Structure 1
Amino acid sequence: MTKIKRTLIMLMLFLPFIISIAITPVAGETGKVVVLTPHYSSIYNVYVDAFEAKYPGITVEIKPMGTPLCFAHLTETKNDPDTDVWFGGGLDWFAKARDDGLLAMYTLKPEAEGNITDELFGLPLKDPNKYFYGSALSGFGVMYNTRYLDDHNLPVPTNWEDLTNPIYFGHISIAMPSRSGSTHMIVEIILQTFGWDEGWKLLLQIGANSGEFTEKSGYVPDHVQVGEYGVGLVIDFYGLSSTAEGYPTLFFYPPNQTVINPDSIGKVAFSKNSDNADLFIDFVLSYEGQSLLFDTAISRMPVREDAYVGAPTGYFNPFETTMNVIEYNSTLGELRAVLVDTLFDDIITYRHTELNTAWKQIWAIEEQIEIAKGTVDISTANSTLNEAIQKASTPPVDKLTSEDVAFNEQFETDAAFASEQEAMWVAFAATNYDDAYDKASEAYAQIFEKLPIISQLNTEINTLGTEIEGLQTLLYASIGLAIIGILIGAVGIFKKN
């Protein structure tokens, strides 16, 4: 057998193997990756374009929905997932997804692992069990339209409490926390900053001042930046990117009343495009991927400290800031996430008209009491008005129940129990708001009747009443004497006859 023949035979023997290598796709070079995300299009489009440019054989499909809906979608498709990566959302929801078996373990590349610290401000940037990782850092606060505030003669708010001032009535936009993970964080931050009872009092007043509750958090900056509303409760990058894009808006973090929280990324359990999912996560957490956060359309903070070397001049660096933040309890936030969001909707979002009416009356009477102060005794009216405020400020769930593990688990897993609780909450809120309105009206009556002109009028009426009673007595006496006279005359005539 010649050398050429031997070579041809060897080629024939190995040809199938060679062909199989040629046609077998290299991981990440063909196919698709399906990304579930609550991010706004201005964020995910930047990442889709950059990722597809780096891996031209992979198509990124986006499934956009709010964070709570992302969690619900993963739950519904748990046995047959149609997504590969969950990109975006706070710690509370990612921790719940991990605990429910919705995420797969994933180990970062050493290059990313070494440049992402374990925690920042007491919050983990990496899940200790490797089920999810921070992909960006976010703070929470207030954006406002400077032109709108000037046009409506409104002061610039400086903290959460300012938003309870009735001067902002109808000027505030907020998303539903049940549809927005960032708004859920704002609600939970307020509850943890002020405590359960005082936190709900503040939320109920902000809710009464709000002109709308949007179904997506991205609608809030849209409405504020074009001047439909003056103030919006938002995650920081909405406010910062709006300013960067030239809108007449500014953003601030309420001092000592916010957190810097990781926005997470994780691999969906039993992903059908596992290798491509790995590539996408690696890209987002690479130096290149983290640097995309400086894009003015995004304006977010990287979780990689080394990425700030390439940050624009003056860009906020959370790793170097002296800003004070609250000590956020992520375990508590995860435990009661569903409870808090549902309760907010039941007593604020869906009862907005009654809540709005009650607080509008309370604020009007507060103003009247202030005017009457020093003129009349307002102690009784003040006491009655405080009863109204208490009615309009009290949630139907107490602090201990909100922190009860068994109650929260049953509320999430037992539909009949949850429905029963919600029915009680709705009835509680409706009754309390009606009672608050009535009590405020009663307080007004208590001021009104003590005003000098009203007191004088009452005195004159009482005096006139006394005089009328005297005239009535004289009249009755005269009539009585006349009747007696008639009777005596009648008796005399009868005797004469």
Structure 2
Amino acid sequence: MADELSLVCSAEQDWCDMMVAAFEAEQPDIDVLMVRKSTGETLAQIRAEAGNPKIDVWWGGTGDPHLIAAEEGLTQPSGADTSELLGWARNMADISDGRAIGIYAGALGIAYNTEILADRNIAPPQCWADLEDPRFVGEIQVANPNSSGTAYTELATFVQLFGEDEAMVKLAAIGQNVNSYTKSGSAPSKAAARGETGVSIGFMHDMVTLAAQGFPLAIVAPCEGTGYEVGAVSIIEGARNFDAAQAWVEFALRADVQSRAPEVGAFQVPSNANAQVAPESPDLASIKLIDYDFATYGSSETRERLLARWDAEVGDPNPQ
């Protein structure tokens, strides 16, 4: 009888599906039971199931919730070899004592539908501050940071760029122009691509994927600078199938496996130094990135405090 591996995937569905198929092809004795959930949803499930976990391994999604799970003792070291990984991926492992390991990186940005903004004679945004302008009223879509790791990265980015008080003022001003807060971080750019909203906030690699499919999306690296994510993989504390989970982590860190991501339109920067970087992937060296403090913003206390302030001072008038 085949072993089972219960996997939660917080990357895009096509990438999740490809990873599972490739892993099962190499490991025919392991049957992967995969479900896709956002990072916020996954963290909530792991907390609720502490002591009796239903999940073995968590792959993908922004690193902050992975670090919070590690801090709370909800995940365990995988023992994986990180010697081939880039510094930012090893840093994730160092911060978490080996409980979360970086698998990809991606910068936060703005996308806009060129046809919509041209039709409505709206000057495109170049900076975060532009999104506060009334010309964008009803035109912006972004995720809710309570459920979305992408949106929590945005929240933490604003705090690091502008200071906590000013960040809330700016996010509230942008909120006046938001037509919808989505559950998923990639949903706003998909809506902008389809012409359902004029502007989105999200990760630039997701925007590149849509632009590569021919949608009229332009991508902006905000002038003030921007934050970035390090996607991670973690094994759950008390995992019932630790050996299979460990095999998944080792598989996910391999250069040849990470090099396959562009096959399904995933253009994040891979963490293995020997993996091939797709030409479509955002060039992180050319983007004004902040020195993102993963240790601070990946802590439970910081996340809970910032989300409470966001709920009180920005808020989603129509939570999903």
Task: State which of 271, 275, 289 in structure 2 corresponds to 1:325.
Answer: 289
Question: TM-score, structure 1 length as denominator?
Answer: 0.60
Contact 2:56 2:241 in 1 (8 A): yes
Question: Which residue of the partner structure matches residue 126 of structure 1?
Answer: 93
CA deviation after TM superposition for structure 1 residue 53, in Å: 2.0
**130 and 332 in structure 1: CA distance in 2 versus 1, 3 angstrom threshold:** closer
Partner of 2:127: 159
Question: How many Å separate the matches in 2 of 1:317 and 1:285?
Answer: 21
* Long gaps (5+) in structure 1: 1-24, 353-497
TM-superposition CA deviations, 1:301-323 (whole Å, max 9, x none):
10112213xx34464454xx253
Report if the CA contact (8 A) 1:293-1:299 is conserved: yes
SS in 1 for 2:104: strand
Once superposed, what is the RMSD of the aligned Cα atoms? 2.0
- 1:339 positional shift: 2.1
Match among 287, 292, 308 for residue 342 of structure 1: 308
Stretch of structure 1 that moved more, 161-170 or 268-277: 268-277
Judging changes above 3 Å, is the alpha-carbon distance between structure 1 residues 286 and 259 closer, same or farther for their aligned structure 2 residues? same
Q: 2:242 aligns with which of 268, 274, 281?
A: 274
- After superposition, the Cα gap between the structure-2 partners of 1:304 and 1:153, relative to the gap in structure 1 and judged at 3 Å, is same
CA distance in 2, matches of 1:64, 1:296: 16
- Aligned twin of 1:81: 53
Corresponding position of 2:177: 209
Structure with greater proportional helix content: 1
Secondary structure (helix, strand or coil) at the match of 1:126 reads helix
- In the alignment, the residues of structure 1 paired with residue 185 and residue 279 of structure 2 have an alpha-carbon distance, to the nearest angstrom, of 29
CA deviation after TM superposition for structure 1 residue 62, in Å: 1.8
Residue 114 of structure 1, aligned match among 72, 79, 83: 83
| Greater relative contact order (CA < 8 Å, ≥ 6 in sequence) | 2
* Displacement after TM superposition at 1:259 (Å): 2.6
1:287 aligns with 255
User: Does the aligned pair in 1 maintain the 2:228–2:292 contact within 8 Å?
Assistant: no
TM-score relative to the length of structure 2? 0.91
- In structure 2, what is the Cα distance between the partners aligned to 1:193 and 1:296? 33
Alpha-carbon contact 1:294-1:301 (below 8 Å) kept: no
Whichever residue aligns with residue 102 of structure 1, its letter is: L
Alignment map for 1:394-409 (pairs within 5 Å) = none
Tell me which protein shows more strand as a share of its residues: 2
- Structure 1 residue aligned with 2:111: 143
State how far apart, in whole Å, the 1-side matches of 2:239 and 2:76 are: 8
Kept after mapping to 2: 8 A contact 1:135/1:285: yes
Matches within 5 A, 1:30-429: 30-109=2-81, 113-119=82-88, 124-128=91-95, 129-308=97-276, 311-313=277-279, 315-318=281-284, 321-333=285-297, 334=299, 335-351=301-317
CA contact (8 A) 2:259 2:275 kept: yes
| Change in CA separation of 1:215 and 1:253 when aligned onto 2, cut-off 3 Å | same
What SS class does the counterpart of residue 119 from structure 1 fall into?
helix
Instruction: Give the whole-Å Cα distance in 2 for the aligned partners of 1:314 and 1:92.
Output: 25
Aligned length: 315
Alignment CA distance shift 1:296-1:148 (3 Å)? farther
The structural deviation recorded for 1:43 is: 2.2
- The answer to whether the Cα contact below 8 Å between 1:125 and 1:303 also exists between their aligned partners in 2 is no
Query: Residue deviations 1:214-239, cap 9 Å, x none?
Result: 12223212211110101011122221
SS state of the match for residue 307, structure 1? coil
Runs of 5+ consecutive residues of structure 2 not aligned to the other structure: none
- Distance in 1 between residues matched to 2:177 and 2:281, nearest whole Å: 33
How many angstroms does 1:86 deviate by? Answer: 1.1
Q: 1:243 to 1:350 in 2, by over 3 A?
A: closer
Superimposed CA distance per residue, residues 176-233 of structure 1 (whole angstroms, 9 cap, x where no aligned partner) = 1101011100111011101112211110110001111112223212211110101011
What's the CA shift for 1:296? Answer: 4.8
Larger radius of gyration: 1
Deviations 1:31-83 (A, max 9, x none): 22111232221221121122122223322222322212211111111111111
**Cα 1:51–1:242 shift into 2, 3 Å:** same
